[in-house]
Amino acid sequence: MMTASLNEYVIISALLFCIGFFGVLLRRNTLVVYMSLELMLVASTLALVAFSRFNNTMDGNIFVFFILTVAAAEVAVGLAIIVALFRKRHTVQIDKLDSLKN
């Protein structure tokens, strides 16, 4: 049976992180931006579990629970803000959200 090494896990999580990061910077729809943010958190989670398994330390697995909780709270607040914003402005395109200026 083929087993993945630590390097492969770390590379995959780094790729996920990059996809998420550039998604946040480049995508124009707020919901897709928000999904990209979650992808970045998932990348960290994957790396944590892999490090935890290969280093044989338990802290990483426990930390994942905290990250999941934080991500859930962030989604709850974030989606509420996006829904309220959509009701006010009738758009979720980032280009249109530019009324704050000097």
Q: What residue type is 31 in one-letter code?
A: L
What does the DSSP 8-state code read for residue 93?
Answer: B
- Indicate the residue among 1 and 87 with the shorter CB distance to another protein: 87
Query: Counting contacts by CB under 8 A, is residue 32 touching another protein?
Result: no
Beta-carbon count within 10 A of 50 CB: 20
Q: Does residue number 26 form part of the binding site for another protein (CB under 8 A)?
A: no
The four Cα atoms 65, 80, 32, 40 give a dihedral, to 10 degrees, of: -20
Angle at the Cα of 40 (from 13 to 98), degrees rounded to 5?
A: 150
77-102 per-residue burial string, b: 16 or more CB within 10 A, e: under 16: eeeeeeeeeeeeeeebeeeeeeeeee
Query: Considering the rule CB under 8 A, would residue 28 count as an interface residue with another protein?
Result: no
Task: Choose between 3 and 102: whose C-beta lies nearer to another protein.
Answer: 102
**Nearest residue (CB) to another protein, 5 versus 84:** 84
- Per CB under 8 A, contacts with another protein among 34-93 are 34, 37, 40-41, 43-44, 47-48, 50-51, 55-57, 59-60, 62-63, 66-67, 70, 73-74, 77-78, 81-82, 84-85, 88-89
User: What's at 67, amino acid-wise?
Assistant: I
What residue ranges bind another protein (CB under 8 A)? Answer: 10, 17, 20-21, 24, 30, 33-34, 37, 40-41, 43-44, 47-48, 50-51, 55-57, 59-60, 62-63, 66-67, 70, 73-74, 77-78, 81-82, 84-85, 88-89, 97, 99-102
